[in-house]
Amino acid sequence: MATIFTKIAKGEIPSYKVAENDDFYAFLDINPLVQGHTLVIPKNVEDDYIFNLDGSTYEGLWDFARKVATALKAAVPCKRVGVAVLGMEVPHTHIHLVPLNSEADMDFRKEKLALKPEEFAAIAESINKEYVKIC
Ligand code: AMP
């Protein structure tokens, strides 16, 4: 059965899309740690453990994540973009990209932000505009 993230990449479940190419997809985390918290996934590989990915998917995923992180940093003011790979909840490899101004921004135990749909949409659009510039 397809994972929820495969359904998102196929457009069967809505998401706030940030960037996309043939093989990879980036969208806003629905329970963000901070504004701009983004998830990056391979579209066609559902393995739930990043270190099981084949070499080309693994390298392509990180290359795409770097482009998305560059766009994210340009769109959302922050000191740097933090990276995390957890996979404790959704069994489909994904990289968290989190705009950081302090170490505490990356604390996954803290209360998540409750953003309005229009806020999610505006953030996703602003990151996508930066992504388009660098691609
Ligand atoms: P983990 O698998 O531990 O890396 O956590 C999965 C992440 O996916 C969590 O931060 C969730 O908020 C996020 N998430 C789960 N379902 C969705 C969804 N439908 N759209 C966006 N983010 C999601």
Percent of the chain with pLDDT over 70: 100
92 labelled catalytic: no
Stretch 41-70: mean pLDDT: 96
Residue nearest to atom 12 of ligand 1 (CA): 31
Q: Where are the beta strands (DSSP E) in the chain?
A: 17-20, 24-28, 38-42, 80-84, 95-100
The pLDDT value given to residue 46: 78
Q: Is the pLDDT confidence value at 54 over 90?
A: yes
- The single-letter DSSP state of residue 103 is G
Every domain of the chain and the residues it spans = 4-134
Closest CA relative to residue 94, chosen from 82, 103, 84, 79: 84
Higher-confidence residue of 85 and 2: namely 85
pLDDT band at 1 (very low <50, low <70, confident <90, very high): confident
Give the C-alpha separation, 51 to 13, whole Å.
26
Q: Is the pLDDT confidence value at 130 over 90?
A: yes
Which of 8, 39, 48 for mutating ligand 1's site (highest number of atoms within 8 Å of CB)? 39
Cβ 87 under 6 angstroms from ligand 1: yes
- The single-letter DSSP state of residue 123 is H
Ligand 1 centre to CA of 96 (Å) is 9
- Kindly report the CATH class assigned to 4-134: alpha beta
Q: Is the pLDDT confidence value at 107 over 90?
A: yes
Write down the pTM of the prediction: 0.98
Token pair belonging to 90? 């959704």
Residue located via tokens 């922050």: 78
Stretch 51-79: mean pLDDT: 98
